[in-house]
Amino acid sequence: MKSCEYYIEKISLLIDGELSQEDRDELRAHFAVCSECAAVYKAFSAVSSSLGNSLEEPPEQLRGAIMGEVMRLDRAKKKKQITKLASYAACLGVVVFAGYKIMNLEPADVSADVETQPVAKSAVSTSVPEVSEQLDTAEAENTAGVAVDGNRYSSSAGINADKAIIASATNEMFTIVNPQTLSWLDTLLTPVEGSNSAPQDFIDYFASFYCGDTCIAVDIYVEDYGVFADFGEGPVPVAGTPADFTDLFG
Amino acid sequence: MITSVYENEIIRSVLRGKSERFEALVSLYEKNVYNLALRMVGNPEDAEDMTQETFIKAYKSLATFRGDGKFSVWLYRIATNVCLDFLRRGSHCDEVSLSAENSDGEETSVDIPDVSFEPEKLLMRKLTREDISRGLAELSPEMRQILILREINGLSYAEIAQVLGTEEGTVKSRIFRARKKLCAFLSDGGNISANSPSNNKQGGAKR
């Protein structure tokens, strides 16, 4: 016969769901013959649920205060980076331009040469992370140079992608390999003229388009008044309607 | 134990320079972090400061977060450290030093080795929020921390071990002892108190 002290330790594990089925059965059998341990179990449970149920709402202003400080730090950091970047302005100009080319995906005419394209893309893909970080920085303070490439939105994300993985804000995952669906998604994500009013809400879908070895990330915002996609330079209105996206992803 | 796709994407875009996206992480976890802090430091004003400090630290060190563990676990680790630091440098020194002395031999730390309690007495009472707060305040900060991580933040033993940088076996026994001590306090209307010197004798004599 094991001592009650042995069982009492196990009770703590039972409460925390850290006990094997076998141990659970053994413990329950002991409770049937030992009212003392059964009472300890009840007491532990009572305290445990009081603790778990005692959650309080944080003060309303808290989130704003945190984000205020975050954005202040963000501005300070970017200012510092901009100063640093300015001293490299000359060589950066080239990189930024190349970066935009990549972020915007290839202009339509590139798609003609299907066979060589993956090679070409993978060759440049290694420089993407670095470049894109600098881009965000540059974009934040100064948009001069951003619109240099007249074709920047002439082709959209899905072009030539052989796979897309979409994650929704509700944490659902969609993997799309069907060429027709990919092409449809490409159509939906084609930037259009329209209000540039920024989306108010959080991102609804994170899309990753795989073109050979290159992965292009697009953030999609579905708002009541339209759909926006962020190809790395801030959200722009796109051709798809909110209903189109509901049809695709539910 | 991996960070959700959604969280990873937010983190990625914050790191790409879109700091405003950090708000999504704040909205997901502010309640849990606030309650963790509230239970650790014991009052709303300090808990608010601790919560803010936690998120700012998380934002500043986001680049060091590796996506191989849960983001929540990483965040709670920051939160508990922020709170413990606060308690150490604050006026609660005497209480903390008791356990800090023993931090190497953690198994021998402050609690009474063999606390007993009468479960029937405890079960007859209606546990109020106030009771729970007073009970938690009786525990050493380290005991409080481990119980909060389990009960308020719902971490598994393995995750708590990760937060505290310790073994699961240690987590198991510490939680048990913390729980027993809290029950002892609650069943006794506050007569058992290992930390408060005035009550030491009484507690010792009882057992």
Q: Does A73 touch chain B (CB under 8 A)?
A: yes
Q: What confidence tens digit (pLDDT) does each residue in B101-121 have?
A: 344 444 444 444 456 677 777
A vs B, Cβ pairs < 8 A, gives 147
Residue-range domain boundaries for chain B: 5-89, 110-206
Q: What confidence tens digit (pLDDT) does each residue in B166-192 have?
A: 899 999 999 999 999 998 888 876 544
The conformation of residue A57, written as its DSSP 8-state character, comes to: P
Asked if A171 and B5 come within 8 Å (Cβ–Cβ), the reply is yes
Q: What ipTM, to 2 d.p.?
A: 0.77
Ranges of chain B whose pLDDT falls below 70: 1-3, 91-116, 189-207
Burial class (CB in 10 A: 0-12, 13-18, 19+), B120: middle
Euclidean distance between CA atoms A104 and A126, whole angstroms? 16
pLDDT of residue A166: 82
pLDDT of residue A213: 63
Closest Cα partner for A95 from A145, A143, A57? A145
Q: What distance, in Å, lies between the first and last C-alpha atoms of chain B?
A: 42
Given strand A163-168, what is the order of strands in its sheet?
A173-176, A163-168, A205-211, A214-223, A226-230, A235-237
Fold of the CATH domain B5-89: Rna Polymerase Sigma Factor; Chain: A (1.10.1740)
In sequence order, which residues have a C-beta less than 8 Å from that of residue A75 and are 6 or more positions away?
none
Task: Note which residues in 133-162 of chain A have CB less than 8 A from chain B.
Answer: 133, 136-137, 140
Residue B46, both tokens: 């300090």
Residue-range domain boundaries for chain A: 4-52, 61-148, 163-249
pLDDT of residue B72: 92
Asked if B152 and A55 come within 8 Å (Cβ–Cβ), the reply is yes
Q: Does A203 touch chain B (CB under 8 A)?
A: yes
CA dist list (Å): B55 to A169, B16, B31, B36: 21, 18, 12, 13
Average pLDDT, integer, range A125-139: 38
CA dist list (Å): B153 to A22, A103, B58, B125: 27, 40, 17, 25
Identical fold between B5-89 and B110-206 = no
Q: Collapsing DSSP states into helix, strand and coil, what is residue B188?
A: coil
Tokens 């134990």 correspond to what residue? B1
Q: Collapsing DSSP states into helix, strand and coil, what is residue B6?
A: helix
Helix then strand count (H, E) for chain A reads 9, 6
Asked if B59 and A202 come within 8 Å (Cβ–Cβ), the reply is no
What share of residues in chain A are helix, strand, coil (percent, to 5)?
A: 55, 15, 30
Question: Has domain B110-206 been given CATH number 1.10.10.10?
Answer: yes
